[in-house]
A and B are shown apart, each in its own frame.
Chain A
Amino acid sequence: FVNFLSPINCNNLLSSSSPLSQQEVAVKIKQTHNLTVLLKQCSEQLLAEYVHHQGEPFNSPDFNPPAMAVPGLPSPPVPPETWLALSDGERLWHLAKAYAVLPGLLGSMWRQQVELNPLASELHQQLEAAARQCRGLAGNLGSIMGSLGVPRPPPPSPVLGTAPASTFLIKLSGYHMCRLHQDWATRSHDALVLLGTKYPL
């Protein structure tokens, strides 16, 4: 399970071309599901830790800024309630597309926070861990999609636009980034739970 978090293993999974057996697919799905459980928990912690270091009003419980697209990160295609109405292939396709860009975005967010909050070592560690976990999940998703014959999304295009100019926008975009990360983690978890029922161990 831990091995899936290491980039080396993720690369191996991404490059694995030989189709897996039914049992191996089930094992892979189970392992990926475990990873999504961790990712879900960590994403919640990350959001809490993030807002803690940004100060008011970010850490206020009623802070709810209007949705803002994070440049480069695909927004979820459907609302959460209809997410499970999509086919397995569609869900995996969207997840793979999102997790192809999430590690990079989390990495740049980590750099911004090192600069902005140099003393928040816990936040830095969580951001690094989140990027690692997303890379691992992307690798696992690729492996599952390869086994199930689901077409993979095209490689992500370079992130459009430039970094936000003001500190406030850095904080705000980081906030949206954490929210989206949490949203995608929840969706990936739901998707893997459903997939796990179809490929039992």
Chain B
Amino acid sequence: TGWPGLEGQGGAGAGQFCFVSSDLLHLLLIPFTPQILSLSPDFASYTLYLKWNDSGSVFPYDLDASWQIQILRKETMETDTLVTYNSKLTGKDTVLSWNWTSDMPLECTSHYVKIRCYINELLFAGRKEWSEWSPIKTVPGIAVVFPQDKVVLVGSNVTFCCLYNEGESIKFMKYGSKDYPLLHLSKWSSAIKVENVSASIPSGSNVLCSLQPDNIAGAVLFVGYAPDIPENLSCETRTFINITCSWNPGRPTELYRQRQTKYILFESKKHRCDFPVHVNQKIYNFTLSASNPIGQTESSLSIDINQRVHLETPDKFTVSTNSSTNAYLSWYIPGNLIQIRLLCQIEISNSNSGRQLQNVLVTGAENSNYRASVDALTPYTTYTFRVRCSASEHFWRWSKWSVERKLTTLEAPPARGPDIWRERSPVRGTLKIFWKPLLLSEANGKILAHEVSCYLQETMLKAHEVTVPLNSTELKLGGNDCLISVVAKNRAGSSPPSTITSVDIPSDNVKTEQAIPTGNGIYLSWHSDPNVTCGYTVKWCCSTGSEPCNVDWETFPSNTTNVLIKSALFQPGVRYNFSLYGCKHNGYQLLQNIVGYMKELPPKVAPNFTVEETSSDSILVKWEDIPVEDCRGFLKGYMLYFAKGKRGTSKPSYFEEGPPEVTVKNITDLTIKSLRILDLQGKTSYRLDLQAYTTGGMSPLKSLYVVTKENSVGLIIAILIPVAVAVVLAVVTSILCYRKREWIKETFYPDIPNPENSKALQFQKNICEGNTALKTLEMNPCTPNSVEVVEARSIVPKIEDTEIVSQVADSELPEDGSDTETENHVVVSYCPPIIEEEISSPPVDEPVGSSQVIYIDIQSMYQPQVKAEEEPEINLLSTAGYKPQMQLSINAMKMESQSPTEEDLDKTAGYRPQANTNAWKLSSPDSPISIESNNENGSFGSPCSINSRQFLIPPKDDEDSPTPNNTGWSFTNFFHSKPND
């Protein structure tokens, strides 16, 4: 080989050599153990092929080598053969091969092979020895599973055995994917029993026997069914030459190829596939036998050949024609059919008339053409033909259909004249003539032109031809009328003429009616006219897009009074105008105009409306008609909704929030084009919505926002009435006062006031019970005196000057009273009492800084002693007597912001007149006179009615100085006396 050393596995590291030495003479040459590259058996020729590498590259020169190959059999490794093989080492690795043929089949037992080497180095002085034996290579004997390739019936029980070699043991046996329990038959054989086997796959079910150390064996089992009895065995002849039989094999056997069912057909002990028809034999007895490895069945049939004729498919089928209504057919059927007559079926189909079958009987012939003809065909029509045949006497089966052939019949003259109509053109003396194209079934061919002529008493005035596709023409008649005739022409000829008179009978008072839409058409009705003798014609015009409309018409018998007009061109929501003409003996008369819709739709647009006029309580709304093309139906009315609402509010609340806010007006009188909405509120925004409706539905809404005007009259009235009432009251009062002026004067302002009568001062009695003499109070001018306080205690702010100033209230309150007060003289104004008062210094236990000014006024004359003695100090605020409101509020604020200690309260209590009992007592502890004087009337009559006494004026107290002690007595009295009421 070209590439030694690559002949087998392990070749690279095979033979090398080593020298073992003690001394030179006792050197041993022992080659390295060789390795077997491959050991392959050829079972057919009982031959073993052995390959190994000689490792010649170890020696740089040629050497003789000997190889001992040992072949052993059985587990005991008895030597069967020992062969010596000599070779030459050539300085490079060489794969050596050797084969050996056994005297018994290799399958019979395992064969073991080993090899060793001897190098015959002549120059080597020492001892040369054989190498070690190589590792053993084994060719295992073939293990076998029985039975092999057996075919059994589904449901059978099958036992498989596995035979293996000496030295092997069984691991498991499987049938398909399932392990089965092993039945040990002998040392070298085991078995499994498989019950109720099911049908196998086409390649069979496998049995696997797995062996130790590494070997497998197996078998395949084919499981299927015996053949069924052939069903529906049927034999027939197609040509009277051969008999062909067919049958249904029944249930599949699940067995294929070599194992599939074989059928044998017998007739008179002969078996073959095709049986020839014998001239003199009519009856044939057939037997069909079916067999496979599992079983065999058979089926029989006896036939009369004349009753089993299944003709071949008609061939060479042709059709032809030479007229507008006939066709000729021809076909070929093979076979010797002389003995029989044939029944053939011709299928004629066309797109209009559908499928038609026509039977023909023909006499049988030998391999012959057969002919037939069909008539009553429609001119200029394409037909499809096909044919099939059978034996006519004993019908057995139809042949297959022949191929299809198409044929178009020739043209014939059109069957009738076209439908015609005429109309006077706007141009004077011109008549436009319309005709409808003929149906395909009527045209009998391709219409090429229409001939239009005009006859006056059988004299042709004019004629001209109009080519397709035009379907109208104009005739200039001048002032004449004539009978118009239209004839359709195709290649085969002309149609009978259609005629119509050009005479129009004038009509007056033509009404326009509305037609009823039906969804799929338009329903027209009219009153019967006894003068109409030759029918009614309804004419209309269908417009498609921008093109001028197509005139269309339909003619109805004279007894018709209602029709449903249908047209593919009708569209929903489009208005169509129909003209109803009556055909009278002397011409056509327009009887009625009818407008109609195929289907009504809601108007496309909202009606355009405006607010004409607005007042404080009404709105006048005007709207316009919707254009006819936008109505899309007969307008039934308008819906007007109005409700309060402003522009920009999200949605009209009509339909969502319900009717309370919305007013709806349904205007069904279409002549009304305006509406005044009344009872509105002035200066209010209203939202108005208007929509039109037809039977088809409501149009979109059109909305407007209107603000009503302000109601000026109401406003004026609202102002005038109160003014008038006030004036009247004033006048009445004035008159009354004038009338009773004496009494009033007497009562309220007497020249000489009578205290007894003074009601104003009556209450004082209550306060000062026992002091009934006190009736009036006269304020006498007070002569102010000034007291300057010159002696001041160190802890008390000095009061250098005390002045009684009536307008102290005008002075500003210092923010920090204590500082400023110490610097300024304290001036206290007072009116010296009639009774002398002693000013005593405050007692030591008096709280620091609580210098007080005591005012004794009218109030204090009556009130303080009572109150001051009763009320405890803790309620300083309430005991403080007269307190200006302003000051009180300040106090309140301070109380909120800081903790109100008693000291603070003293300071903030502000102006405290005689209410403070302490002060009162302190200020005049030893002046009973003053008290006395208070209690006595005598003191009131004095020019100075106020007893004021001051010890020290603390800064805060000074703040209180603005006490309006100069305010009118009556007010002071009034307020202070109130709690006593």
Binding site for B on A (CB under 8 A): 53-58, 60, 65-66, 69, 71, 75, 77-79, 86, 89-90, 93-94, 115-120, 151, 153-154, 160-162, 165-169, 171-172
B202-A117 in contact (CB<8A): yes
Instruction: Give 16 A-B pairs besides A55-B206, A171-B203 with Cβ atoms closer than 8 angstroms.
Output: A53-B202, A55-B201, A57-B177, A60-B177, A77-B7, A77-B9, A78-B9, A93-B6, A94-B6, A118-B257, A119-B202, A153-B2, A167-B219, A168-B206, A168-B218, A172-B216
Most chain-B CB neighbours within 10 Å: which of A57, A78, A89, A172?
Answer: A57
On chain A, the residues within 8 Å of B43 by CB distance are 161
Q: Does B231 contact A (CB under 8 A)?
A: no
On chain B, the residues within 8 Å of A57 by CB distance are 174, 176-177, 206, 208
Q: Which residue of A lies closest to B175 (CB)?
A: A56
On chain A, the residues within 8 Å of B145 by CB distance are 168
Selected from B174, B206, B214, B217, the residue in CB contact (under 8 A) with A54 is B206
A161-B220 in contact (CB<8A): no
Q: B144-161 CB contact bits vs A (8 Å, 1 = yes)? A: 010011000000000000
Which residues of chain B from 186 to 221 have a CB within 8 Å of any chain A CB?
Answer: 200-208, 214-220
B216-A53 in contact (CB<8A): no
B177-A56 in contact (CB<8A): yes
Interface pairs (15), CB distance under 8 Å: A57-B176, A69-B40, A78-B9, A93-B2, A115-B257, A116-B204, A116-B257, A118-B202, A118-B256, A160-B45, A161-B45, A165-B148, A167-B220, A168-B206, A172-B216
B258-A115 in contact (CB<8A): yes
Selected from A58, A77, A79, A119, the residue in CB contact (under 8 A) with B206 is A58
B44-A166 in contact (CB<8A): no
| B interface SS class | loop
Least Cβ distance of A62 to chain B in Å?
Answer: 11
On chain A, the residues within 8 Å of B42 by CB distance are 71, 160-161
Q: Does B8 contact A (CB under 8 A)?
A: yes
Q: Does B971 contact A (CB under 8 A)?
A: no
Least Cβ distance of A169 to chain B in Å?
Answer: 8
Q: B39-69 CB contact bits vs A (8 Å, 1 = yes)? A: 0101111000000000000000000000000
Which residues of chain B from 239 to 255 have a CB within 8 Å of any chain A CB?
Answer: none
Least Cβ distance of A43 to chain B in Å?
Answer: 20
On chain B, the residues within 8 Å of A167 by CB distance are 148-149, 203-204, 219-220
Known: A161-B44, A166-B149, A168-B148. Is A116-B219 also a contact (CB below 8 A)? no
Q: Does B3 contact A (CB under 8 A)?
A: yes
On chain A, the residues within 8 Å of B6 by CB distance are 77-78, 86, 90, 93-94
Q: In the complex, A55 Cα to B176 Cα: how many Å?
A: 7
A166-B148 in contact (CB<8A): yes
Least Cβ distance of A82 to chain B in Å?
Answer: 9
On chain A, the residues within 8 Å of B38 by CB distance are 75
Least Cβ distance of B211 to chain A in Å?
Answer: 9
Binding site for A on B (CB under 8 A): 1-3, 6-9, 38, 40, 42-45, 145, 148-149, 174, 176-177, 200-208, 214-220, 256-258
A151-B2 in contact (CB<8A): yes
Selected from B2, B40, B200, B220, the residue in CB contact (under 8 A) with A171 is B220
Least Cβ distance of B4 to chain A in Å?
Answer: 11
Q: In the complex, A198 Cα to B437 Cα: how many Å?
A: 84
Q: Which residue of A lies closest to B178 (CB)?
A: A56
On chain A, the residues within 8 Å of B258 by CB distance are 115
On chain B, the residues within 8 Å of A58 by CB distance are 206
A117-B149 in contact (CB<8A): no
Q: In the complex, A195 Cα to B694 Cα: how many Å?
A: 89
Q: Which residue of B lies closest to A160 (CB)?
A: B42
Least Cβ distance of B714 to chain A in Å?
Answer: 100
On chain B, the residues within 8 Å of A171 by CB distance are 203, 206, 218, 220
On chain A, the residues within 8 Å of B9 by CB distance are 77-79
Selected from B7, B8, B205, the residue in CB contact (under 8 A) with A55 is B205
Least Cβ distance of A55 to chain B in Å?
Answer: 5
On chain B, the residues within 8 Å of A86 by CB distance are 6
Which 3 A-B residue pairings sit nearest by Cβ, starting from the closest? A168-B218, A167-B220, A56-B177
Q: In the complex, A195 Cα to B160 Cα: how many Å?
A: 52
On chain A, the residues within 8 Å of B44 by CB distance are 160-162
A53-B203 in contact (CB<8A): yes
Q: Which residue of B lies closest to A53 (CB)?
A: B203
Q: Which residue of A lies closest to B40 (CB)?
A: A69
A119-B220 in contact (CB<8A): no
On chain A, the residues within 8 Å of B45 by CB distance are 160-161
Q: In the complex, A169 Cα to B312 Cα: how many Å?
A: 50
Least Cβ distance of B45 to chain A in Å?
Answer: 8
B206-A56 in contact (CB<8A): yes
Most chain-B CB neighbours within 10 Å: which of A58, A116, A167?
Answer: A167
On chain B, the residues within 8 Å of A118 by CB distance are 202, 256-257
Q: In the complex, A197 Cα to B250 Cα: how many Å?
A: 63
Least Cβ distance of B41 to chain A in Å?
Answer: 9
Least Cβ distance of B767 to chain A in Å?
Answer: 124
Q: In the complex, A79 Cα to B149 Cα: how many Å?
A: 36
On chain A, the residues within 8 Å of B40 by CB distance are 69
Q: In the complex, A90 Cα to B4 Cα: how many Å?
A: 10
B3-A66 in contact (CB<8A): no
Known: A56-B177, A90-B6, A153-B2. Is A166-B206 also a contact (CB below 8 A)? no
Known: A55-B200, A55-B205, A116-B202. Is A166-B2 also a contact (CB below 8 A)? no
Q: Which residue of B lies closest to A60 (CB)?
A: B177
On chain B, the residues within 8 Å of A55 by CB distance are 176, 200-201, 203-206
Q: Which residue of A lies closest to B37 (CB)?
A: A77
Q: In the complex, A172 Cα to B303 Cα: how many Å?
A: 52
Q: In the complex, A56 Cα to B198 Cα: how many Å?
A: 14
On chain A, the residues within 8 Å of B174 by CB distance are 56-57
Q: In the complex, A172 Cα to B9 Cα: how many Å?
A: 24
Least Cβ distance of B108 to chain A in Å?
Answer: 16
Q: Which residue of B lies closest to A119 (CB)?
A: B202
On chain B, the residues within 8 Å of A151 by CB distance are 2
On chain B, the residues within 8 Å of A165 by CB distance are 148
On chain A, the residues within 8 Å of B202 by CB distance are 53, 116-120
B256-A119 in contact (CB<8A): yes
Least Cβ distance of B34 to chain A in Å?
Answer: 18
On chain A, the residues within 8 Å of B219 by CB distance are 166-168
Q: In the complex, A86 Cα to B11 Cα: how many Å?
A: 13
B3-A65 in contact (CB<8A): no
A65-B216 in contact (CB<8A): yes
Q: In the complex, A94 Cα to B2 Cα: how many Å?
A: 11
On chain B, the residues within 8 Å of A89 by CB distance are 3
On chain B, the residues within 8 Å of A154 by CB distance are 1
On chain B, the residues within 8 Å of A78 by CB distance are 6, 9
Least Cβ distance of B332 to chain A in Å?
Answer: 39
Q: Which residue of B lies closest to A66 (CB)?
A: B214
Known: A120-B202, A167-B220, A172-B218. Is A93-B3 also a contact (CB below 8 A)? yes
Q: In the complex, A122 Cα to B220 Cα: how many Å?
A: 22
Known: A161-B42, A167-B149. Is A56-B176 also a contact (CB below 8 A)? yes
Q: Which residue of A lies closest to B148 (CB)?
A: A166
Q: In the complex, A120 Cα to B202 Cα: how many Å?
A: 9
Least Cβ distance of A56 to chain B in Å?
Answer: 4
On chain A, the residues within 8 Å of B200 by CB distance are 55
Least Cβ distance of B347 to chain A in Å?
Answer: 39
On chain A, the residues within 8 Å of B176 by CB distance are 55-57
B3-A90 in contact (CB<8A): yes
On chain B, the residues within 8 Å of A54 by CB distance are 203, 206
Q: In the complex, A154 Cα to B3 Cα: how many Å?
A: 11
Q: Which residue of A lies closest to B205 (CB)?
A: A55
Selected from B1, B215, B220, the residue in CB contact (under 8 A) with A166 is B220
Q: In the complex, A32 Cα to B207 Cα: how many Å?
A: 41
Least Cβ distance of B684 to chain A in Å?
Answer: 87
Q: In the complex, A161 Cα to B145 Cα: how many Å?
A: 21
Q: In the complex, A65 Cα to B256 Cα: how many Å?
A: 27
Q: Which residue of A lies closest to B201 (CB)?
A: A55
Least Cβ distance of B429 to chain A in Å?
Answer: 83
Selected from A66, A75, A94, A116, the residue in CB contact (under 8 A) with B215 is A66
Q: In the complex, A169 Cα to B208 Cα: how many Å?
A: 11
